[in-house]
């Protein structure tokens, strides 16, 4: 794993909790899917042709 200097764990956690709070009145599956997708790491790939 590569350490990312721009990674702000506290900010990411705050965003995750905000989504959880905003989606609390929706059916359970939708907030769970949103939180799961938001928790995935962003991976970029370089493709050369």
26-39 pLDDT tens trace: 888 888 887 777 66
So what's the pLDDT on residue 47? 57
12-25 pLDDT tens trace: 888 888 888 888 88
Task: Report DSSP letters for 1-49, one per residue.
Answer: ----TT--HHHHHHHHHHHHHHTTTS-THHHHHHHHHHHSPP-------
Chain centroid to Cα 49, Å, comes to 31
Q: Give the residue carrying structure tokens 């799961």.
A: 36
Neighbouring C-beta atoms of residue 22, cutoff 10 Å: 11
29-39 helix and 9-22 helix, angle to the nearest 10 degrees: 170
> Structure pTM?
0.54
């Amino acid at each position: 794993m590569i350490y990312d200097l721009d990674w702000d764990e506290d900010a990411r956690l705050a965003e995750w909790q905000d989504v959880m709070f905003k989606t609390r009145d929706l059916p359970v599956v939708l907030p769970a899917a949103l939180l799961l997708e938001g928790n995935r790491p962003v991976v970029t790939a370089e493709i050369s042709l």
